[in-house]
Structure 1
């Protein structure tokens, strides 16, 4: 009941959909189909392309990494291969993440100067086909954390259904999906793409019914899928046992997954995809957002403790005496203004705290001010700024 109240009191925010998938899964084509679907409904999304190596986009990106970073020049300048070039390009682009988030937040809010422009409802994020370059890199983590701190964020993991017909490749994709979920800690949808070529019902059945998967595994073993002599079940050794045990392990994982079947080529299943997105966005607000808030509060508390330790260390250093303090600071004392002019001898005399305040009283007043202002921006002011206000 409490979670519902929190989510309903929060103003409606656009949903960020991050499309990830192995190379050749049809991820960018799916993005184009989603883009067209939303435009048809007169709800144009805000699109961000994070793939610096893509040659031709099938949709119009509002923010494109290629406008900021030249992938080929990065490879030449740093002597990198394709994967290293993509990762370095993402790292360079991540330095602009604050600018990107400011743009997205402005577009998510009504514009008083342009009342006819509707706030965006969905943000689409296209990522490189080299899935590990984005999801297991620092730049990818920063981008996802920044998105999740401002918007409900959903991961759409796109799978090539035609290449998942064997139990071994199916299990590989499911392990990828599991690792993505635990890496990002965000709601995820498994999207079986290319269903115009191969229907995904077999995969859904394998996820829902262990006996059906076990039957498919037995067929693969008998057909020499894992090596051995065909028809003699010679492949029923290590590989079969490993896949069987992993399937049992992932049963709980399957229960909490949203699975949809789509054809990026023909556009079928897109409505079901957005139903799953809506469900996962609600799940984000109900379960993930409180956890993000808790982690943010924990980080703030740690920062506060760190500031208190630094203050205590500083006060101990000041207790060494004026002579020692002045020798550490050097011969020249500067005003805290724009020009940074040296103080005159008269100013230095006025700036002598030993004659005016005792150290213990100053520390007590500073700590009291910190407590009174801990919910305002003044709580983050440095000790030097506090001293400056006392002089003024």
Structure 2
């Protein structure tokens, strides 16, 4: 019998832990069981105590101190250690029934999702074999990225890279929508939810001026901030990234306000559809008191 879960991931500061806490609270409000797994070895505070915490196996702080590694190298070491001791993760998950939604709270270093094969190997282990977890990734991108359009397309490219790397169903989410409320018109916001490359052409803050275009024809110091972050070359790079995203046509976003029950419910419905949660649930028998009331009427 299948189990069901979601990997909550995305860049640092995207609101993953906040989303996990709000999602768990939403599930509890709807009398639905969940199993919370923290896979961030650097996490320190939780709104809900994890049912399974990687820090009981290994912590990033200890690895950095004992192995003299930086945060990124230490994180990769933690996951390599986890892969060598998978029983720590798989044994408790064996006991989880199909009524539960398993919520995996992941670290914020996107190298895990886009550069190294550790996480794809972990996903394959969880989705196959005796565990057989139907999973999808919930990839969060902060909604404030839409204020800086090149930054938004860079974040969208990281989401697409994770989709290609992990080869699993994805639900991409623009989190913290409350922070941009009133800043973007609804019609324009829809162009971010289904990324439109033309947004870069129309960006009033990034248009290349005639003087910059003329200057670009001559020599420019490649190390200068102006050359790297502005000008014709930077503009062409952003357009190429946006066009690549459009060519693949893989990424679209859902809106999320973690404080809004309706918003959480909508995102959860997409996750449930991706993992086919409701299709496998057995019909529930009506409660005895409900039957007694019906007969009395």
The answer to whether the superposition gives a TM-score over 0.5 is: yes
Residue by residue over 1:127-161, the C-alpha shift from the partner in whole angstroms, topping out at 9 and shown as x without a partner, is 11122146533432332111221111111110111
Q: Is the 8 A contact 1:83 1:133 kept in 2?
A: no
| Correspondence for 1:129 | 108
Residue by residue over 1:49-92, the C-alpha shift from the partner in whole angstroms, topping out at 9 and shown as x without a partner, is 11111111122211100111133222222111222222222222
Q: Is the 8 A contact 1:258 1:276 kept in 2?
A: no
State the TM-score, normalizing by the size of structure 1.
Answer: 0.59
Matched, 1:216 2:216: no
Matched, 1:276 2:270: yes
Of the three residues 26, 39, 54, the one matched with 1:50 is 39
| Correspondence for 1:259 | 253
The alpha-carbon distance between structure 1 residues 179 and 39, as it changes in their structure 2 partners (threshold 3 A), is same
In 2, Cα distance between the equivalents of 1:203 and 1:173? 16
In 1, Cα distance between the equivalents of 2:99 and 2:171? 22
Matched, 1:17 2:6: yes
The alpha-carbon distance between structure 1 residues 15 and 203, as it changes in their structure 2 partners (threshold 3 A), is farther
In 2, Cα distance between the equivalents of 1:209 and 1:158? 15
* Secondary structure of the corresponding residue to residue 155 of structure 1: strand
Matched, 1:204 2:199: no
Q: Is the 8 A contact 2:38 2:53 kept in 1?
A: yes
Q: Is the 8 A contact 1:21 1:158 kept in 2?
A: yes
Q: Is the 8 A contact 1:20 1:155 kept in 2?
A: yes
Higher Cα Rg, which structure:
1
Q: Is the 8 A contact 1:205 1:212 kept in 2?
A: no
The alpha-carbon distance between structure 1 residues 84 and 274, as it changes in their structure 2 partners (threshold 3 A), is same
Give the unaligned 5+ runs of structure 2: 214-225, 280-297
The alpha-carbon distance between structure 1 residues 146 and 210, as it changes in their structure 2 partners (threshold 3 A), is same
The alpha-carbon distance between structure 1 residues 170 and 154, as it changes in their structure 2 partners (threshold 3 A), is same
Give the unaligned 5+ runs of structure 1: 1-10, 109-118, 286-392
Query: 75-84 vs 37-46, which deviates more?
Result: 75-84
How many residues are treated as equivalent by the alignment? 255
Of the three residues 56, 59, 69, the one matched with 1:67 is 56
- Please report how far the alpha carbon of residue 107 of structure 1 lies from its aligned counterpart in structure 2 after TM superposition: 1.4
Residue by residue over 1:158-181, the C-alpha shift from the partner in whole angstroms, topping out at 9 and shown as x without a partner, is 011113322210110111011101
The alpha-carbon distance between structure 1 residues 79 and 214, as it changes in their structure 2 partners (threshold 3 A), is closer
In 1, Cα distance between the equivalents of 2:12 and 2:196? 29
In 1, Cα distance between the equivalents of 2:263 and 2:82? 33
* Secondary structure of the corresponding residue to residue 205 of structure 2: helix
Report which of the two has the higher share of helix: 1
In 2, Cα distance between the equivalents of 1:49 and 1:211? 36
Q: Is the 8 A contact 1:127 1:134 kept in 2?
A: no
Query: Within 5 Å, which residues of 2 pair with 1:100-119?
Result: 100-108=89-97, 119=98
- Please report how far the alpha carbon of residue 245 of structure 1 lies from its aligned counterpart in structure 2 after TM superposition: 3.1
The alpha-carbon distance between structure 1 residues 243 and 280, as it changes in their structure 2 partners (threshold 3 A), is same
Matched, 1:189 2:175: no
In 2, Cα distance between the equivalents of 1:250 and 1:138? 22
- Please report how far the alpha carbon of residue 101 of structure 1 lies from its aligned counterpart in structure 2 after TM superposition: 2.1
